[in-house]
Amino acid sequence: MLEITRLSKRYDNGTAALAGIDLVIDPGRIVAVVGPSGCGKSTLLRLLAGLERPSSGTIRLDGAPLEGPSPKIGVVFQEPRLMPWLDVLHNVAFGLPRRMPARARTAMALRAIARVGLSGFERALPKELSGGMAQRAALARALVTRPQLLLLDEPFSALDARLRARLHAEVLRIWAEDRPTLVLVTHDLDEAALLADLILVLSGPPGIVRAVYTNDQPRPRDPRSLSFQMLRARLLETLSACEHAAA
């Protein structure tokens, strides 16, 4: 379980990014976070990743306070952020403990690479990969430790529609196998409605929870269905109200 209690973030320059976020996410849920630019979506994800410390409030994963980055948490950013001097195999294995035997590290990395459909490209350098393949490698790196919490910060936004749909399917397949808790930051309302069980709408700055929508449509979801279009319309209406309030 992921528990967020009165979570706030204020930077040294006085900028308030988040203000009093409260949320409980049950294990194995997919949560999408949407909201206008500058409302604190990416800040929230960095706090959940342990990459930044909150100014106040707490984050607990399975009851334990989150004090920093953890092997229980995998992160995929908007850019793949692969190390250009390492091949796919060593990029994926990079996050594994150094004390682990080399053979075990390699075996775990190869399994993660196979799960995202990159078998055969283990020795390829990042410059030899397409954009979609590079994001697959980044996803494999996040999955290699079989994390309990997987965080996605707009990882599909730079891809064309065909590749985006393919990676959506890949993420759902992998999620169905391991059932990690998954938190996705996105600007794409269709993406949120397609993937998430729970959609969190932030407004701000500072970021506050404006609305929470439950999405119980069965998978696979049809964007042409009435229920899908009704949910999308509600999200759009809420976002428009957020933008109007911030103007």
Phi, psi of 157 (to 5 degrees): -65, -25
- 8 A C-beta contact, residue 20 and residue 208: yes
Residues 141 and 152 in one domain: no
Domain that holds residue 58: 2-72+148-246
CA angle 191, 195, 199 (to 5 degrees): 80
Query: Considering the domain boundaries, does residue 176 fall inside one?
Result: yes
Query: Considering the domain boundaries, does residue 45 fall inside one?
Result: yes
Residues 234 and 114 in one domain: no
Neighbours of 186 (CB within 10 A): 23
Structural domain count of the chain? 2
Residues 68 and 100 in one domain: no
Q: Which helix (H) or strand (E) holds 190?
A: helix 189-195
**Per-residue pLDDT reduced to its tens digit, 185-237:** 999 999 999 999 999 999 988 999 999 999 999 998 999 999 999 999 999 99
Give me the count of residues in the chain.
247
The reply to whether the predicted model has a pTM over 0.85 is yes
Residues 67 and 158 in one domain: yes
**Per-residue pLDDT reduced to its tens digit, 128-146:** 999 889 999 999 999 999 9
* Partner residues linked to 70 by β-bridges: none
Torsion over CA: 122, 176, 29, 35 (sign) = positive
Query: Considering the domain boundaries, does residue 77 fall inside one?
Result: no
Residues 231 and 190 in one domain: yes
149-153 β-sheet, strand order: 73-76, 149-153, 181-185, 30-34, 198-203, 208-214
Which CA distances in Å does 144 have to 110, 139, 156?
Answer: 9, 9, 20
Residues 193 and 226 in one domain: yes
Q: Can you give the pLDDT at residue 122?
A: 97
Final residue in a domain of this structure, among 92, 124, 146: 146
Residues 226 and 109 in one domain: no
3-state secondary structure of 200: strand
Across the range 8-18, mean pLDDT stands at 91
Q: Can you give the pLDDT at residue 144?
A: 92
**Per-residue pLDDT reduced to its tens digit, 50-77:** 999 999 999 999 999 998 888 899 999 9
Q: What is the DSSP annotation of 148-159? A: SEEEEESTTTTS
Residues 111 and 207 in one domain: no
